[in-house]
C-alpha cells in the first residue's frame, strides 16, 4: 500500500483533550469541592454498547471525574427509561447524562433523549443541542460528540474547511446532520449524501473533505476519493472495519483517519470534556 496519506491520530489528539480536561476538573474541585459526574444509561446487554459505556466510565475516572452506571434490562419500556433519565436529570450531583445508542427497537429513543435536561445533554443528542449547532448559538447546548470530535481533529491537523467542498455521507440525527451543520458553520460548502443518493460516487469525487458516516463496512470506495482529499471515517463495523475502503482510499487521500484509533477516541474525549464544561456551567464557574 502507498501510505503517502497522513494518518490522523485520534488517540494522540484525544489524549491532549483529556489532559486539558483533567486540569479543568481539578480546578472545579478546588473551587467548589464538587467532583463532576457523568451518568451512563444502558438498556440491554449489547456487547458493543457494554464495552463503549465501560470505556467512557474509565475515561471519566482517568481525568478525576466520577461516573455513575445505570444498567436497565432489555425489556425496559420507554416510560421506564424516561423516568430513569428524568431522575438523573433532577439529581444535582449528576452533571451529564448519556444514553448509550442504540436503544432496543421497542424504545422511543427520541423521547428518551428529550428527557435529558439541556444543560446535562453532554452527548449533544437533544433537539435543543441540535438547534444550537444549526443556528450557531455558542454556550447553549453541546456538540454532538462524534461530529464535535471530528471538528477538533481537523483543527489539530490545521485543516481549515473555509471554501472547501465537504461531502458528508450519512444523515443520522446524531452524526451526519450535525456534522453538516458544523462544517457549514466552519465556512465549508456542504453536500449531504446517503445510501439512496443517485450518482453517489460522482458526488464523493468532488469532496475536498469526505466524512463517511453511513454505518456500512467499506461503503465508500477508494476510487471515489479525489486526489488529495481529507477522508474522515466515522464508521465502526464488525472486525474493526470502517465505512471507507481504507487501503484504496489511503493511496489517494492527503489525510485519512484509521479505524480504530481515529474518530472513536475523539468522540469519547469530547464527551468527557463536555461533561466537565457542563459541571462548570451548573456550578456557576466562569470557563473563560
Q: What are the boundaries of each domain within the chain?
A: 32-143+266-277, 145-263
pLDDT of 1: 44
* pLDDT per residue of the chain (288 residues) written in tens, 0 to 9: 445 899 999 999 999 999 999 999 999 999 999 999 999 999 999 988 999 999 999 999 999 999 999 999 999 999 999 999 999 999 999 999 999 999 999 999 999 999 999 999 999 999 999 999 999 898 888 999 999 999 999 999 999 999 999 999 999 999 999 999 999 999 999 999 998 999 999 999 999 999 999 999 999 999 999 999 999 999 988 888 999 999 999 999 999 999 999 999 999 999 999 999 999 999 999 875
Query: Quick check: is 138 catalytic?
Result: no
Return the bridge partners of 191, or none: 167
**CA pair distance 236, 204, nearest whole angstrom:** 20
pLDDT of 139: 83
Query: Quick check: is 29 catalytic?
Result: no
Of 121, 123, 208, 273, the active-site residue reads: 123
pLDDT of 226: 97
Give 174-232 as a DSSP string.
TTHHHHHHHHHHTT-EEEEE-TT-TTHHHHHTT-SEEEE-SSSTT-B-GGGSPTT-EEE
CA distances from 224 to 25, 65, 199, 203, 219 (A): 44, 43, 11, 9, 10
pLDDT of 284: 94
This prediction's pTM = 0.95
pLDDT of 92: 97
Of 66, 100, 274, 282, the active-site residue reads: 100
Please determine, looking at this structure, whether the domain spanning 32-143+266-277 carries the CATH number 3.40.50.10860. yes
Q: What is the CATH number of domain 145-263?
A: 3.40.50.720
Query: Quick check: is 123 catalytic?
Result: yes
Q: Which three cell numbers stand for residue 161?
A: 474547511
**CA pair distance 106, 84, nearest whole angstrom:** 17
Sign of CA dihedral 5, 266, 110, 75: positive
Amino acid at each position: 500500500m502507498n501510505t503517502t496519506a497522513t494518518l490522523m491520530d485520534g488517540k494522540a489528539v484525544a489524549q491532549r483533550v483529556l489532559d486539558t480536561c483533567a486540569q479543568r476538573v481539578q480546578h472545579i474541585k478546588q473551587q467548589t469541592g464538587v467532583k463532576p459526574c457523568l451518568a451512563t444509561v444502558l438498556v440491554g446487554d449489547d456487547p458493543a454498547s457494554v464495552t463503549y459505556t465501560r470505556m467512557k466510565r474509565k475515561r471519566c475516572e482517568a481525568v478525576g471525574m466520577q461516573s455513575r452506571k445505570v444498567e436497565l434490562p432489555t425489556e425496559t419500556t420507554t416510560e421506564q427509561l424516561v423516568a430513569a433519565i428524568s431522575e438523573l436529570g433532577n439529581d444535582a450531583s449528576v452533571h451529564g447524562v448519556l444514553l448509550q445508542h442504540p436503544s432496543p427497537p421497542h424504545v422511543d429513543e427520541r423521547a428518551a433523549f428529550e428527557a435529558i435536561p439541556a444543560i446535562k445533554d453532554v452527548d449533544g443528542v437533544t433537539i435543543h443541542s441540535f438547534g444550537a449547532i444549526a443556528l450557531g448559538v455558542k454556550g447553549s447546548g453541546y456538540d454532538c460528540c462524534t461530529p464535535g470530535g471530528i471538528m477538533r481533529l481537523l483543527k489539530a491537523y490545521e485543516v481549515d474547511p473555509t471554501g472547501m467542498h465537504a461531502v458528508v455521507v450519512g444523515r443520522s440525527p446524531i452524526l451526519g446532520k450535525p456534522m453538516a451543520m458544523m462544517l457549514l458553520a466552519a465556512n465549508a460548502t456542504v453536500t449531504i449524501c446517503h445510501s439512496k443518493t443517485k450518482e453517489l460516487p460522482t458526488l464523493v469525487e468532488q469532496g475536498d473533505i469526505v466524512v463517511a458516516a453511513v454505518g456500512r463496512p467499506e461503503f465508500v470506495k477508494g476510487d471515489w476519493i479525489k486526489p488529495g482529499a481529507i477522508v474522515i471515517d466515522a464508521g465502526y463495523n464488525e472486525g474493526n472495519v470502517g465505512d471507507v475502503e481504507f487501503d484504496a482510499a489511503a493511496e489517494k487521500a492527503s489525510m485519512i483517519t484509521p479505524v480504530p484509533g481515529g474518530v472513536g477516541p475523539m468522540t469519547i474525549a469530547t464527551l468527557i470534556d463536555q461533561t466537565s464544561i457542563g459541571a462548570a456551567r451548573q456550578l456557576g464557574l466562569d470557563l473563560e
